[in-house]
Amino acid sequence: MEHLLGIEWEIVPAGGATGEAFYAKYEDQRLFLKRNSSPFLAVLSAEGIVPKLVWTKRLENGDVFTAQQWLPGRELKPNEMNQERVAKLLKKIHQSKPMLGMLSRLEKKPLLPENLFQIVLNELDHEVLSLSGVQKTIAFLKQETKNVYSEEKVVCHGDVNHNNWLLAEDNQLYLIDWDGAMIADPAIDLGLLLYWYIPEENWEQWIMMYGKKLTNQLKLRMKWYVALQTISSIQWHKNKERYPEMERWISFLSEIV
The DSSP bridge pattern shows strands 165-168 and 10-13 to be unpaired
Q: Are 167 and 74 in contact, with CB atoms under 8 Å apart?
A: yes
Identify any residues that bridge with 174 across adjacent strands, giving them in sequence order.
166
Q: Answer yes or no: 177 catalytic.
A: no
Q: Are 123 and 232 in contact, with CB atoms under 8 Å apart?
A: yes
Q: Are 154 and 183 in contact, with CB atoms under 8 Å apart?
A: yes
- Return the H-helix or E-strand segment holding 120: helix 113-123
Q: Which of 28, 159, 185, 189 is catalytic?
A: 159
Smallest Cα–Cα separation from 48: which of 104, 103, 102, 89?
A: 89
Catalytic residues: 159
